[in-house]
Amino acid sequence: MKSFTFSAYISYNDFLNHYSGVAATVVVRTDNGLKLQLPASRFRPFLTQIGVKGRFRVTVNQDNRLQGIEQIA
């Protein structure tokens, strides 16, 4: 499995677009410069009063299918 790390900040108000159906995906740029398009729903566990903020690791399988997203220190 491959993994990619990135930093993200999505304000609470911007993330509300996901709940209203306006935004279904989030596009991030990894530390290596690769752009990833991820389902916004996968960021729900990380939503706080300020939004989604922090460092994250995405793991994909050999077919580049998303296996998981975790917040890292």
pLDDT of 16-53, one tens digit each?
888 777 889 999 999 999 999 999 999 999 999 999 99
- pLDDT tens profile 56-67: 999 999 999 999
CATH number at residue 62: 2.40.50
CA distances from 40 to 22, 44, 61 (A): 11, 7, 19
**Start-end of H helices in the chain:** 12-20
Mean pLDDT throughout 5-14?
A: 95
Structural domain count of the chain: 1
Token duo for residue 59: 């793991």
- Mean pLDDT of the region 7-16: 93
pTM (2 decimals)?
A: 0.89
Separation CA 32–CA 14 (nearest Å)? 25
The range of the structural domain enclosing residue 68 comes to 2-72
pLDDT at 73: 76
- CB-CB contact of 9 with 50 (8 Å): no
